Structure 1
Amino acid sequence: MIRPLFALAGLLACVSPAAAQDRRPSHCIALAEATPGMAYVQKASWGDPVAEDSVRITYVDHSVYVIQTEGGLSVATDYNGYLGPEDLVPDVATMNHAHGSHWTPNPDPRIPNVLRGWGDGAGPADHHLDLGEMLVRNVPTDIRQGFGGVEEDGNSIFVFEVAGLCIGHLGHLHHEPNAEQYAALGRLDIVMAPVDGGMTVDIGTMQRIVSRLRSSVVLPMHWFSGYSLERFLEGMAGEFAIERRMESSFTMSLRDLPSRPTILVLQPLVLTGRD
């Protein structure tokens, strides 16, 4: 699908030459090109060493994932303060505050980079964290408030660029991204998508978002019962392959992306040990 290039051009025009020099360029904000891949994913335990040119993704709970790199970096998404009894201190914790299960007011002080997905009152959150092995950036979206109100830029879709992959976490998304937001996201090879059917967006809207993103791997999250998950899977079965796994972790590289877009259902499990 062709990206809205006019919107992307407008976004890039707003970046000053000085700012562009200070920021590592995103390799994900570009037209996606066909990448030959292999139609499988590798099983992995969250405590194993990460394979060369790969990332490991572990579904911890609700909307919390841990992303780990070959070089030892780790990220916790929509971090709520608890990853399990194992004392893992991530290098980055991203948070969104639509619901208390997606953030904590008291993150572990040992975490060096805590990225809040909402603004500080002076403007939207604007993150562009270059860790060398990984680039972390965000695309703000709005969230609903009580009595029909809207908090502008109250949520962030976080994008993690690592090992040649573009990984997106939609957070507590309350509306379909507009053309400018889709353009700012760029290519997402792997996307974590909430499929609760109401607290974020309805199932039909999420199916439309996932179809438009056309990610190689879709990880359903934020499901409270099998009902909403099954509705989502049923509606996507003709367009995406469905793979159900009993594990909570898998390892992926750019060369291993499935040739057919695949929805991969993982089983959430808090970090309990390295064995």
Structure 2
Amino acid sequence: MEPMTSITRMALRSLALLVVLAPGAAQAACAFGMVERAPLLHRAAFLPAAAPEGTVRISYLGHSSFLIETPQGASAVTDYNGLNVPAGVPDIVSMNNPHSTHYTDTPDPGIRFVLRGWNPAGGLPAHDVKWKDLRVFNVPTNVGETYGGGRNSSSVFVFEISNLCIAHLGHLHHILTRDQLLRIGRIDVLFVPIDGSSTMTHEQALAVIAQIEPKLVIPMHFGFFGSADAFFERARASYTIRSEKGSVLVVDRNSLPRDTEIRFLQAESQF
């Protein structure tokens, strides 16, 4: 084989640079079953978008429930249980089924899409829906036998809004597999259970954060399930921790920190 010439090397470098800097790569959507986490494309996905399309409003309703509101007025609630609910009826709700604080059998009939993180009929739960500027898809995970679970009995839900990707880990009980990470894709904001006992240990939660590498981590699922302070003591060595005074955080692409930060929101409900 002939040695590579300097011209060939320059051409290959130019091609690689185009792949990394191409607008489509910089504004790449959250991926289901795609390969954004492969080395080259994973780096490209973290470049700021040229023109942010608006802000996303996140409200911590309580326990594992967050209200997500988009620039075009779409809304979603995570781990919808019929108790920690917003004033209006959301368009989309996600649920998980380890126990009744994460789902309800009687969701409001005005909800357009009810997405269960498990399949009541058995088999693989599969969702990928879009309403206005909001897309939601799931990645099946496992729940420990203590909660009557097993393989594919829970889900990580990913919310794609404009050029932001938000993931809710649900009642995750384990470190994520490579396949699950590929399906989840690039994540900007991550909701993580930090109880340390009924979901993951604190060490596992920190390991999952390191796997996903989000820009913002928002803790959930603590209080009577476990102390938030115990998690923060372990996390402080690796991450900046900031406490918000209220339950609401407004996020856009340009407001994301350069390195991963943990933002603690005050829940609207103590349940």
TM-score class, shorter = 0.7 to 0.9
Whether the 8 Å CA contact 2:96–2:117 is kept in 1: the answer is yes
For the pair 1:118 / 2:92, whether they are aligned, the reply is: no
Distance 1:115 1:239 in 2: 34
RMSD over aligned Cα atoms: 2.1
Distance 1:179 1:167 in 2: 19
Letter in 1 for 2:268: L
User: 1:170 corresponds to which residue?
Assistant: 169
Structure 1: runs of 5 or more not aligned: 1-25, 38-50, 271-275
1:35 counterpart (31, 39, 47): 47
Aligned residues: 230
Whether the 8 Å CA contact 2:196–2:226 is kept in 1: the answer is no
Whether the 8 Å CA contact 1:191–1:218 is kept in 2: the answer is yes
Q: CA deviation at 1:122?
A: 4.2
Letter in 2 for 1:28: C
Q: TM-score, normalised by structure 1?
A: 0.78
Structure 2: runs of 5 or more not aligned: 1-27, 37-41
SS for the counterpart of 1:151 is: coil
User: 1:55 corresponds to which residue?
Assistant: 56
SS for the counterpart of 2:167 is: strand
Q: CA deviation at 1:226?
A: 9.7
Distance 2:75 2:158 in 1: 14
Distance 1:164 1:176 in 2: 26
Of the two structures, which has the highest relative contact order with CA contacts closer than 8 Å and spacing of 6 or more? 1
Q: CA deviation at 1:238?
A: 2.8
Whether the 8 Å CA contact 2:193–2:220 is kept in 1: the answer is yes
Distance 1:122 1:153 in 2: 9
Distance 1:238 1:158 in 2: 28
Letter in 1 for 2:47: T
Whether the 8 Å CA contact 2:98–2:149 is kept in 1: the answer is no
Q: Which runs of 4+ in 1 moved over 6 A?
A: none
| Percent of residue pairs identical | 35
Matches within 5 A, 1:205-220: 205-220=204-219
**Structure label with greater radius of gyration:** 2
Of residues 251-260 and 190-199 in structure 1, the stretch that sits farther from structure 2 once superposed is 251-260
Distance 2:188 2:118 in 1: 24
Which digits, 9 at most, give the CA deviation of each residue in 1:69-102, with x for residues without a partner? 1111110000001235x63100001100111100
Whether the 8 Å CA contact 1:166–1:187 is kept in 2: the answer is yes
User: 1:99 corresponds to which residue?
Assistant: 99
Q: CA deviation at 1:195?
A: 0.2
* CA 241–36 in structure 1, closer or farther in 2 if over 3 Å, else same: farther
Q: CA deviation at 1:28?
A: 2.1
User: 1:67 corresponds to which residue?
Assistant: 68
User: 2:7 corresponds to which residue?
Assistant: none
Distance 1:187 1:32 in 2: 10
User: 1:267 corresponds to which residue?
Assistant: 266
